Structure 1
Amino acid sequence: MKDTSKTPYFKDLSRKDYVVMARRIIRTEGVGAVSIRRLATELGCSSASMYRYFKNLDELLFYAQLDALNGYILELSEQEKRWTGIWDLYFGIWRAYATEAFEKPEAFECIFYRNLNQDLGEALKEYYEMFPEAIVRVSPLIKEMLEIPGYYDRDYFICKRLVAEGELTEENAKKLNHVLCTLFLGYFKFVQENGVERGKIRELVDRYLAESVEIAQIYTKTVLNRFL
């Protein structure tokens, strides 16, 4: 630990300095080890200094854990090359999201559920300005989806594509959106409360996707057996 007894009240720091330090602590000790006092000690500044750059610790943790999205975005960019239809797109997005969320529940809870007022699109833009080496290219459709702030709204954005292609009525799209998002939150809460071994993540994701396909089959005339 640094000796901060003679530390100036404010230092010439940046938002990136805080994000880098918070990420370093998270990677070695876990998110619970990050505190305003710990950051001040590591950066050699006062605790009050953080508030010059972030509204609160939650906002800083949001940015510090955005790198957890890179695995999700990278998986989407790889998988969408193989998708051949709108249902491949829909279930492919859910598979990629569930896989990464079950593996990194703390980060996904912070990014998608705790900071509901954060504009994810603007946050990602700033994050990639800080860390241009982390940029992953995705299609315009996926980019537009990622920039939608609400969890239910992001899924409904794809559901509307199903409506446009005649796979769902608008009413059934709203029902599917609500049911699958709510079902996922149940799975996610289970992972948060009980944990899941890394080797069991695929099995849990497959179970969620199988239930999702069975539910989706209720709302569409298209046979979805190949996704089971």
Structure 2
Amino acid sequence: MNKKEIKRRRMWTYFIDATEELIKTEGFQQVTIRNVAEKAGYNSATLYNYFGEFSHLLFFASFKFLRPYLEKVTKEMKKEEDPIQKYIVAWECYSEYSFNNPEIFNAVFLMDLGDHPENLLDRYYELYPSDLLEIPEELHPLLFDRNISSRGRFALSGIVAAGILSEEKAEELNELTNLVWQGMFSNLLNNRAFYSPEEAHERTMKYVKKIIKSIVEEK
């Protein structure tokens, strides 16, 4: 590794760690370009020399907060053999974490990151190798696919393979469950919901389970 790359990595970690500290101490709303630069001891222009997109910096800092979610979804899905239960467990973890950490979840999974966002994950683990988790390959699309619908289809693949649902019915289930979650998440993220994160999670899972039961029974 040459001196230029070493400096680049060092500067990246300065800004990422400053962003992480701001999220912890002052909340996501205080994470601005100016505040991050000041926290790291540099100016905004220097920050932009290392991060062409502010969303990339938010991704890196937010990903550091994902460890509890990644550990939980990996552990809980390994416990289940029944494909429907696996699907429900995946939704339970996804829903609970997203409503309790909407800004973090949005920065990692939903925010526009420009071209080739998958490369950001490789770069993250280069910078923070100690954060690398033993995530089963079968869960990678669930965690790292940028498209919500694609993640849902993958989660349903076991149900289709078991002959429980046809591809058409699985697609219907995927669309309906995503619409329920998206509506609730959008309201919560934009402060338009009258529910607490816990209530939003409970209501979402109530409807998700009803939709699953209805579609499985009518196949």
TM-score between both structures, scaled by the size of structure 1: 0.81
Report the Cα distance in structure 2 between the residues aligned to 1:61 and 1:213, rounded to whole angstroms: 33
State which of 76, 86, 90 in structure 1 corresponds to 2:87: 90
Tell me which residue corresponds to 2:32: 35
Q: C-alpha distance in 2, partners of 1:113/1:139? A: 22
Instruction: Give 2:201's aligned residue.
Output: 205
Q: 2:54 aligns with which of 47, 54, 57?
A: 57
C-alpha distance after superposition, 1:169-212 (max 9, x if no partner): 11111111111011001121232214755xx61x5423322211
AA aligned opposite 1:205: H
Identify the residue that residue 142 of structure 1 maps to in structure 2: 139
SS of 2:81 mapped into structure 1: coil
Closer/same/farther in 2, CA of residues 95 and 116 from structure 1, 3 Å limit: farther
- Note the residue ranges of structure 2 that are not aligned, 5 or more in a row: 1-6
Please point out which of 207, 214, 217 is paired with 1:218.
Answer: 214
Are the counterparts in 2 of residues 184 and 208 from structure 1 also a CA contact under 8 Å?
yes
Change (3 A) 1:43 1:213: closer
Identity, in percent, stands at: 25
Measured in 1, the distance between the counterparts of 2:215 and 2:171 equals 10
The structure number with the bigger radius of gyration is: 1
CA RMSD of aligned residues (A): 2.4
Q: Is the 8 A contact 2:173 2:212 kept in 1?
A: yes
d(CA) in 1 for partners of 2:31 and 2:194? 21
SS in 2 for 1:80: helix
On the 8 A contact 1:16/1:130 being kept in 2, the answer is: yes
| Corresponding residue pairs, total | 210
TM-score (norm 2): 0.84
Describe the superposition over 1:44-97 as per-residue Cα deviations: whole angstroms up to 9, x where unpaired: 323211122212222211211112321211111221232121111111111001
1:70 corresponds in structure 2 to 67
Q: Deviations over 1:86-122 (max 9, x none)?
A: 1111111110011111110111122222226465543
**Could you say which residue in structure 2 is the equivalent of 1:152?**
149
* Whole-angstrom CA distance in 1 between matches of 2:115 and 2:90: 21
Distance 1:116 1:164 in 2: 33
Matched, 1:44 2:16: no
Alpha carbons of structure 1 residues 34 and 137: separation in structure 2 relative to 1, 3 Å: same
Change (3 A) 1:117 1:158: farther
> For residues 195 and 15 of structure 2, what CA distance do their matches in structure 1 show?
30
Residue 130 of structure 1 corresponds to: 127
* Structure with a larger share of its residues in helix: 2
The residue identity in structure 2 corresponding to 1:211 is Y
Q: Does 1:179 align with 2:176?
A: yes
TM-aligned CA distance change 1:175 to 1:65, over 3 Å: same
| Compared CA separation, residues 84 and 187, structure 1 to 2 (3 A) | same
